[in-house]
Amino acid sequence: MRYPAPTDSEAIPILAYTLRRSVILIASLLIAAVVLFVVLRLLPGDPANALLGVGATEAQIAAARSQVGSDQPLYSQFVSFIGNLARFDLGTSFVSRASVIGEIGDRMSVTLPLTFLGFLLALALAIPLGIIAAVRSDRWYGGLISVVSQLGIAIPVFWVGILLVTLFAINLRLLPSGGFPLRGWTNFGEAAVAMILPVLTIALVMAASVLRYVRAATLDVLGSDYLRTARALGSSFPEALIRHGLRNGAVPVISILGIELASTFLGAVVIERVFSLPGLGSMLLLAIQQRDYPNVQGVLFISTLLVLLIGFAADLLQRFIDPRLRDRGAGTP
């Protein structure tokens, strides 16, 4: 079965679903902001401690609390927090006195390329290998691909990073073991070389997981009636699989890809630690150690926002591809 693109009449339920999903996105973001505010305030200690040294006097403590706003009632702090978020103002770091949103933007220039390049490379590996593992499941190499992917799922991501560093940086001395140029992407050559091993680490681990889902979805397609009908009507196997199978098999995989991409973004902190990259994860860990509440709040809020946006985009893409989901959104049985 080949699904057409949505017509003008079908665009109405898609628009209605997009509006409903947008409301859910905003509500989810608001709930996440409330939870973030409450959890950070439940932690022991005072955020003013980030500004104080050992042996601070009572006057210095009071001045520091007034500076960070921790001397205000919780409801006043919450109203100020939500108001700043509405203006997309994440505040100023207690320690560096730099703008939180500016510092997050600098760190994003490492974390986002790391995540998305790893994701794209994982797709380039997982999709063809997953299809081969399903189509040639009766051959030795089809079974070998499945076994290797299962092993890849079982190996922790930091192990893969350490193995790649040992092989390519220590033994072969082809690539750097970690670090990132101080000038960032302005020194494009060094930055690109520094990203090779981290991106490859993410890609290998993600590809092992995605490959399993691609293989399962392809096996479902191979056993479908519409594929057999297309073959009976004279289509060759590759033509029937490409024209009628890939789009159907892509629908359940898209939601998995959204989850994998979100998980990879959140788990980039591990890779950044292994390869000493100045990304969002290292910023969060440093902020937690320094009790720098604005940085902690900013990183967690932006991370939550990106995860919710990934899920939002995956849902919309599913409904664009599969008209059955569009009909469900319109109330058609």
| Sequence letter at residue 301 | F
* Mean pLDDT along residues 77-97: 83
Q: Is the pLDDT of residue 165 over 60?
A: yes
Rounded distance between C-alpha atoms, residue 333 and residue 319, angstroms: 15
- The pTM of this model reads 0.81
Write the CA distances from 186 to 229, 289, 310, integer angstroms.
55, 30, 28
Pair 274, 158: CB distance under 8 Å: yes
* Top-confidence residue, 320 or 160: 160
Q: Which of 295, 214, 275 is nearest to 250 (CA)?
A: 214
Q: Can you give the pLDDT at residue 151?
A: 85
Domain spans of the chain, in order of start: 1-94+291-333, 123-277
Q: Indicate the pLDDT class of residue 265, thresholds 50, 70 and 90.
A: confident
Q: Indicate the pLDDT class of residue 229, thresholds 50, 70 and 90.
A: confident
Tokens read off for 59 = 């006057």
Tokens read off for 315 = 């849902």
* Mean pLDDT along residues 78-89: 83
Rounded distance between C-alpha atoms, residue 198 and residue 50, angstroms: 32
Q: Can you give the pLDDT at residue 3?
A: 47
Q: Identify the three-state secondary structure at position 242.
A: helix
* Mean pLDDT along residues 247-269: 80
Residue length, the chain? 333
**Dihedral (CA of 49, 32, 103, 269) sign:** positive
* Mean pLDDT along residues 232-243: 75
* Mean pLDDT along residues 148-165: 88
Q: Indicate the pLDDT class of residue 331, thresholds 50, 70 and 90.
A: very low
* Contacts of 71 by beta carbon, 8 Å cutoff, 6+ apart: 62, 65
Q: Is the pLDDT of residue 174 over 50?
A: yes
Q: Identify the three-state secondary structure at position 57.
A: coil
Q: Indicate the pLDDT class of residue 142, thresholds 50, 70 and 90.
A: confident
Pair 272, 279: CB distance under 8 Å: yes
* Top-confidence residue, 324 or 209: 209
Q: Can you give the pLDDT at residue 240?
A: 76
* Top-confidence residue, 234 or 27: 27
Q: Which of 165, 164, 191, 188 is nearest to 179 (CA)?
A: 191
Q: Can you give the pLDDT at residue 326?
A: 56
Q: Indicate the pLDDT class of residue 1, thresholds 50, 70 and 90.
A: very low
Quick: pLDDT tens for 292-328: 888 888 888 888 898 899 888 888 887 777 666 655 5
Q: Indicate the pLDDT class of residue 332, thresholds 50, 70 and 90.
A: very low
* Mean pLDDT along residues 161-182: 91
What's the whole-number average pLDDT of the chain? 82
Q: Which of 60, 64, 40 is nearest to 295 (CA)?
A: 40
Q: Is the pLDDT of residue 69 over 80?
A: no
Q: Indicate the pLDDT class of residue 125, thresholds 50, 70 and 90.
A: very high
* Top-confidence residue, 47 or 213: 213
| Sequence letter at residue 6 | P
Place of tokens 């006097």: 57
Pair 255, 318: CB distance under 8 Å: yes
In degrees, to the nearest 5, what angle opens at C-alpha 147 toward C-alphas 141 and 151? 140
123-277 fold: MetI-like fold (1.10.3720)
